[in-house]
Amino acid sequence: MNAWRPKSHSAAPAAEDEIDDMPWKYRVALLLAACCYLYLQTFILPCVPISQGDNTHFFLLDGARMLRGEVLYRDFQELTFPGMEALTFLLLKSFGMRAWIPAATLICVGALLTLLGVMITSKVLSGPSVFLPAVAYLTLAFGNALDDTHHWFSILACLAAVAVLLDNSRPTRVAWAGGLCGIACCFTQSRGALAMLALTAFFAWESHARKLGPRCWIVRVAILGAAYAAAALAFNTYFICKAGWSNFYYCTFTFLARYYGAFHRNNLSVYMVDLPDFAQVLLSIPSLGVWLFIHLVAPLVNLLFLVRWWRMRQEISPTLSRRLMLINMMGLAFFLSIASAPQWFRVASATLPALILLVWILNAPGRLHQFARQALWVFSLATGIGAAVITQSSAMGPLETPTGRVEVLSSDRYEKYHWLIPRVQAGQYILDAGNGEAYFFLELQDPAPVSFLTDSAFTRPGQVDALLNKMAQTRVEYIIWPVELDQPPPGNRGSDALRPLRAYMRKQYRVVKVFTNGDQVWQKHDGADQP
């Protein structure tokens, strides 16, 4: 067996089809360790799934609606292309309404991201440093952003495109990469499109660096674009035909262009504002360290790499230089895809390419670089172990729901579930105007055409009208009303589309419960008139 030694920054030129000599047993060991860590983060031992994440519940609700025969983009609205809804529908269709589905999905996604991270890093580094970016990403980013949402799947597809192109840019590989970017677009349209543009820019750089001429670049871009369009159209055509082009275009393009930024979580005002809770100092100090590190990594490392590469371009082998530039361009595309609304979750999810480049920079000789690598190892492992211990010790006791037993680690959410479970039945309509997490686990139905309501232009008057019309057709016994809808953040802007709904609530409902966090439960009067 060949010695498994680190590659230096000035590695000798290698063949394009070079395969790293890292033993597979190490990759398998890391994969098993990642699955164990993720299990401890998503299940309370021995086997109770945890309800977590802000967006997970929206897609579970969408999948359940599709199971009941509702049509995406026509009967209810979603802003992304239908990749996440289609996947959720298939999972629910295959396994039924089971509480463990979102937790198990997170384990699979986290394990695949870890494996892809190692596969990509092994092409630019060797030795223990091969594992460091994937471990740091798993514990510092993914483990602190456990939300089963479309971002992870689009990132998976884009990273797979990078892995396909790392060895060479032959037409077959270019076609596979274009198809994978098209699949990424079906989950997150902005990331898939920017990933394709990043590969287009990379092919231009490669053609110039290797003096291949413009014809080679044009052929590669044509193959890339054709495969991208074919994958995106093949996936979306069914949903377009089902809902109608006008509904599909309005939800995924027009609405985003006009109203997406009106919601305070969807614009630049969210950058670096979600600080850790300093009520518990011992936990907040390491959380602050993770928070600062992730925000510094993206996009600063990608820019720092360009400076480092320019200074060392004569010393780096052409093959290594090509691979690093590919990773960097995809990293820049990742950041640009979330730059308009750089919330913590989005920033954290986009950092894997930057972490790979950071470890490559730190892999240079010298005690300072060695100390930085060791510090990142300790920081990552300690964060992962600490997070798993905290998760397992935070259990409040399982709740029995129609989808199975589930753990809720938030005291606010636990209080809401504990109040609702004895008062509602599966199939019943309620309006949860906040995050809507109760719909899936309690098998409830949502009368609104959108997953949540806001006191901003993001919620349109037509959506409120559709909600009131649905409430006229069905009896909605309870309304869960978040306190922030009456106290909107300063960043929200636009007319108050909820005024008709508030007027109807005051006439037809009364407050029967106020939770500790201020959220209210309104119950319909006996014999109340329909809207």
- Strands 520-524, 48-49: pairing is unpaired
Q: What is the mean pLDDT of residues 185-206?
A: 97
Q: What pLDDT sits at residue 17? A: 41
Residue 21 lies in a domain: no
pLDDT at 26: 85
Please give the pLDDT value at position 289.
86
At residue 515, φ and ψ (nearest 5 deg) are: -75, 170
Q: Indicate whether 292 and 404 sit together in one domain.
A: no
Q: Is the pLDDT assigned to residue 32 strictly greater than 50? A: yes
* Shared domain check, 188 and 303: yes
pLDDT at 355 exceeding the cut of 70: yes
Which of the listed residues 339, 363, 390 is the one where a domain comes to its end? Answer: 390
Q: Residue 116 domain-assigned? A: yes
| Identity at 19, one-letter amino acid code | I
Which range of residues forms the domain containing residue 450?
A: 400-524
Structural domain ending residue among the three candidates 390, 409, 428: 390
pLDDT of amino acid 514: 95
Instruction: Answer yes or no: is pLDDT of 162 > 90.
Output: yes
pLDDT at residue 276 is higher than 70: no
Contact 380, 136 (CB under 8 A): yes
Q: pLDDT band at 172, cuts 50/70/90?
A: very high
Domain check: are 214 and 323 in the same one?
A: yes
pLDDT tier at 163 (50, 70, 90 boundaries)?
very high
Asked whether residue 293 falls in the same domain as residue 410, the answer is no
Between 112-126, 160-174, 261-275, 352-366, the lowest mean confidence (pLDDT) is in 261-275
Residue 57 lies in a domain: no
Residue 313 sits in the same domain as residue 443: no
Residue 34, in any domain of the structure: yes
Q: Mean pLDDT throughout 455-461?
A: 90
Distance, first Cα to last Cα, the chain:
76
Percent of the chain with pLDDT over 90: 73
491 in any annotated domain: yes
Considering the domain architecture, whether residues 386 and 404 belong to the same structural domain is answered as: no
Residue 189 lies in a domain: yes
pLDDT for 528: 56
Q: Name the domain count of the chain.
A: 2
Q: What is the pLDDT of residue 470?
A: 94
90 and 131 in a single domain? The answer is yes
Q: How confident is the model at residue 357 (pLDDT cuts 50, 70, 90)?
A: very high
Does residue 457 form part of some domain? yes
Over residues 87-98, the mean pLDDT reads 96
Q: Strand, helix or coil at 346?
A: helix
Please determine, for residue 335, whether its predicted confidence score (pLDDT) is greater than 90.
Answer: yes
What is the per-residue pLDDT for 111?
Answer: 97
> Can you tell me the mean pLDDT for 201-211?
94
Q: Tokens for 226?
A: 């054709």
Reported pTM: 0.92
What token pair was written down for 391? 């998760």
- Distance, CA of 385 to CA of 34 (rounded, Å): 11
Same-domain check for residues 465 and 519: yes
The C-alpha atoms of residue 93 and residue 85 are separated, in whole angstroms, by 12
**In the chain, pLDDT over 70 holds for what percent of residues?**
92
Q: Long-range contact list for 500-508, CB < 8 A, 24+ apart?
A: 500/464, 500/465, 500/468, 501/453, 501/464, 501/467, 501/468, 504/468, 504/471, 504/531, 505/479, 505/481
326 and 422, same structural domain? Answer: no
Same domain for 31 and 96: yes
DSSP H or E segment with residue 48: strand 48-49
Structure-model confidence comparison of residues 197 and 52, the more confident one = 197
Residue 213's SS3 state is coil
Residue 382 lies in a domain: yes
In the predicted structure, residue 184 carries a pLDDT above the cut 70? yes
pLDDT digits (tens, 9 = 90+) for 482-494: 988 887 655 555 5
Tell me: do 76 and 120 sit in the same domain.
yes
Of 390, 411, 426, the residue that ends a domain is: 390
Same domain (yes/no): 327, 442:
no
